[in-house]
Structure 1
Amino acid sequence: MNKKQFWQLIEATRNQVSNPNDSEAVARMAALLLASLPVEEIVAAEQVLWDLMVDSYTNPLWAAAYIANGGCSDDGFDYFRGWLITQGREVFERAVADPDALAELPIVQASAADGVDLEGEDMLGIAWKISSPRAVSGTAALDCTSSSGSVLTGSETGPTRSGTTRVSLS
């Protein structure tokens, strides 16, 4: 998976959740979509995610996060950048290039008015939320756990025509 494919995954995820501004829902759906991909693609997606984290590790963006959230520790900045990734490519790239542009986003304005932090800690662990496939009675099992502790489990039901693995969630 390259950056373009990663951003397509995020866009598909944002289109499938009921509230694309809910970073936890976006992260949960992204993990579910990743779970259906070959392991190599999951690893590549994780690398792209961390490359984006490196690309966005700038003092001006940290200052914008500090202002938007009323403070910003080093972990808080990681979570802010996780949130920023859940907002999609256009918002992410614009904010990295011009952090002041964040002030124009309705979600940022609403969060500031309500005193809600912009954070997406769950996004940072989307690949980790998918446990590695393990043999269970001839199938591979996948677990996806949300931060609230709810678990979606699935089992491999076989390859598709394209060679990817089909996963049945329960």
Structure 2
Amino acid sequence: MNTSEFWALIGDAAREGGTPDTAAERIAAALAKRDADEIVGFERHMRRVLDASYKVDLFGAAYLVNGGCSDEGFDAFRGWLMAQGREAFARAVGQPDSLAELPAVKRAAVTGEELGSERMLAVAAQAHREATGEDLPEEPAAKRPNTDDFWDFDDEDEVRRRFPRLAALFSEAPGE
């Protein structure tokens, strides 16, 4: 499986509508029809995408959008972000403030909904089990950046400087 096929599976599932978890179910079903090597290939592409997107500023944006964020929460946030498609994902990794353009982020600013999809992170494992009856082969753990490189995500001035559009969406109304 190559990068274009990886993103095409995600894009096809997302275009059918529904939630990121619904898209994850569609991806898992489509993958389960493929041979085990392709399923493993999907997992490897997803791990590369996740590794490449473990950026301090994207973590900070997820922290702002979700009102806090753990490592696991950031993984789920990036699972949700993958379900938004290749273009939105790449734009957010390069410029996290671009998340302010996404309808779901705008909605979350009003509703307080937490954006994440653990199910997106498990599609290859689910598909592999369905296709082979076996667990997905173990892969090395994802690399994590040094948390000493993190800035204070609760520093409102720094948040406004780094993410002016997101900060405007998620700022509290006067008197709150």
Instruction: Judge same fold: TM > 0.5, yes or no.
Output: yes
Q: Is residue 2:117 matched to residue 1:120?
A: yes
Unmatched tracts of structure 1, length 5 or more: 135-140, 143-170
User: Which structure dedicates a bigger proportion of its chain to strand?
Assistant: 1
* Aligned 8 A contact 2:14 2:20 in 1: no
Paired AA for residue 11 in structure 1: G
Shift of 1:9: 0.7
CA distance in 1, matches of 2:30, 2:115: 23
Shift of 1:66: 0.3
Q: Is residue 2:12 matched to residue 1:12?
A: yes
Count, aligned residues: 133
TM-score by length of 1: 0.75
**Which residue of structure 2 lines up, in the alignment, with residue 55 of structure 1?**
52
Q: Is residue 2:9 matched to residue 1:24?
A: no
Paired AA for residue 8 in structure 1: A
Shift of 1:106: 1.4
Identity of aligned residues (%): 43
Q: Indicate the RMSD between aligned Cα atoms, in angstroms.
A: 1.5
TM-score by length of 2: 0.72
Shift of 1:63: 0.2
Paired AA for residue 10 in structure 1: I
Shift of 1:98: 0.1
Shift of 1:104: 1.8
Unmatched tracts of structure 2, length 5 or more: 135-176
Question: Using CA pairs below 8 Å that are at least 6 residues apart, which structure has the higher relative contact order?
Answer: 2
